[in-house]
Amino acid sequence: MSDSFLDHLPSQEREKIRKRLRSPEEYERLREKVKGPEDLEREMKKSEQMAEVNFRLETEPESVQRLHDRIAKDLKERGVEAVLEHGEVSDSVRAALEQGRFMVSIEAHPKTHEDVLVVLPEGNVQDKLPVKPIQSERYIQSLLAA
């Protein structure tokens, strides 16, 4: 029989851990991790949309150009901070973005690892700059509607 780490703790410490794990706060935290059918349906719909956009970006050059032009226009008119999640970029990257020297792609988000719309500045494709979720949703909807 294998020993649990709890077996090696004093009884007072074991009781504290058990009490904490049975607390309403811990229950609520764990419950938030469980996804309901509505959440799963929403995730599936988003995944389908991202797959469709990715397919269009890989197979339809006119879709790539349309999306690029729309993002470039927004970057120039509203600024990097309004379009991208991280507005703190170097001056050279900011200049490249505002001049329209970038590529658009669907990549895994650096933190959440979910597929998102990203901008890849020209010259340094290691810089994957995620588009803000609300902006990304607008771009995706406009691309799918066309």
pLDDT for the residue 59: 92
Q: Residue 57: which of 98, 117, 8 has the closest Cα?
A: 117
pLDDT for the residue 45: 92
Both tokens of 35, joined, read 């996804």
**92-142 tens-digit pLDDT:** 888 888 888 899 989 888 788 888 898 888 875 567 888 888 898 999 998
Phi and psi (nearest 5°) for 90? -65, 160
Residue 108: strand, helix, or coil: strand
| Domain residue ranges in the chain | 39-145
Q: With 70 as the cut, is the pLDDT of residue 2 above it? A: no
pLDDT for the residue 138: 92
Residues in the chain: 146
> Which parts of 79-120 fold into alpha helices (H)?
80-83, 91-98
pLDDT for the residue 48: 92
